[in-house]
Amino acid sequence: MSGAGYFPSWVELSIMAATFSGFILVYMVATKFFPIISLWEIQEGREESIREVSERVASYLPDEIRAVQT
């Protein structure tokens, strides 16, 4: 069947685009007021990462320098 089919009009395409845009807007506003990741988890991760990086850097230093640092 050639030529048989349906193509949406510009009004229907506009409604679909507006619906997607509306959902994206609602999602962005919701994540602004209710963060996906807890702020306490982010702060805890920063504190742990500083400690881990300090330990890792100290492990690469020669023993003489490590003794002076501690």
Could you read off the pLDDT of 16-61 as tens digits, one per residue?
Answer: 999 999 999 999 999 888 877 776 666 666 777 777 878 888 787 7
Direct distance between the N- and C-terminal alpha carbons of the chain, in angstroms, rounded to an integer: 82
Decide if 63 is inside a domain.
Answer: yes
Any domain includes 50: yes
The boundaries of the domain holding residue 18 are 10-69
Q: Is residue 29 part of a domain?
A: yes
pLDDT of residue 68: 60
What does the pLDDT read at residue 10?
97
Residue 2 lies in a domain: no
Looking at the domain assignment, is residue 4 inside a domain? no
Tell me the CA distances in angstroms from 23 to 10, 20, 27, 35, 37, one per residue in order.
Answer: 20, 5, 6, 17, 20
pTM score, whole prediction: 0.49
Q: For position 69, what pLDDT does the model report?
A: 60
Q: What pLDDT, on the 0 to 100 scale, is given for residue 51?
A: 78
Report yes or no on 1 lying in a domain. Answer: no
Number of structural domains in the chain:
1
